[in-house]
Amino acid sequence: MSTAPKKPENTPVAEHRNIPVWNAENWHWEDIVVGRKIRSIRRTISEGESMQFNALVLDMHPYVADEIFAKQEGVFGRRLVAGAFVFSAGLGLVATNCTTAFSYGYDRLRFIKPVFIGDTIYTIKTDLEKGPKSADMGLYRASYEVYKGEGELVLYCEHIQTVKYRDPKNAPQVA
């Protein structure tokens, strides 16, 4: 006699796979429109989440973790939000669960202005260019501009992704 648990006869797994994934955009290389822009919602960065991020990544630099240092000795007179957190949160504001695109890397990452605890940020993403990479996938580059307040640019970077072709037979040829 087997002691393995029996699988229920009416499992909903197949049915669940047919339900769309929340926040998913399964676009392909052919769907990218150079010049298209999207803007995120705004997000205020609290002290608690800033310190949680610092603790998670072991960043306890006095500019981000020491109120007394930041006020008395720091260049800005108050604590900063870690640039890595601004980058992560800023890009996260426009991220989706696309199962056809894969990060290839980042270029031109610049921390332009400081972000402080209590600042509100938002992001504008612009589709910059696309081109062939391989027989199955193309390359795609988008810029991310993170702003605080009413439009002060604080971060810029470009994200390169590999993206599946919808129909590889009709894909552009790699040079």
* Domains of the chain and any CATH numbers: 36-166 (3.10.129.10)
Mean pLDDT by 10 residues, the chain (175 residues): 62 80 85 97 97 96 96 96 98 92 97 98 98 96 98 98 95 85
- Please report which residue ranges of 36-148 form alpha helices under DSSP H: 47-57, 62-65, 67-72, 83-92
Return the number of other C-beta atoms located less than 10 Å from residue 11's C-beta. Answer: 9
Closest CA to 113 of 156, 77, 171: 156
Confidence (pLDDT) at 96: 85
Count of CA atoms in the C-beta half-sphere (13 A) of 2: 4
Confidence (pLDDT) at 97: 85
Confidence (pLDDT) at 16: 83
Structure tokens at 138: 């193309």
Confidence (pLDDT) at 21: 76
Q: How far apart are CA 4 and CA 154, in angstroms?
A: 57
Confidence (pLDDT) at 18: 83
68 φ, ψ (degrees, to nearest 5): -65, -50
Which residue do the tokens 């081109």 mark? 131
Confidence (pLDDT) at 7: 58
Instruction: Provide DSSP, 27-57.
Output: --GGG--TT-EEEPPPEEPPHHHHHHHHHHH
Instruction: List beta partners, residue 44.
Output: 120
Global pTM reads 0.87
Q: How far apart are CA 136 and CA 58, in angstroms?
A: 39
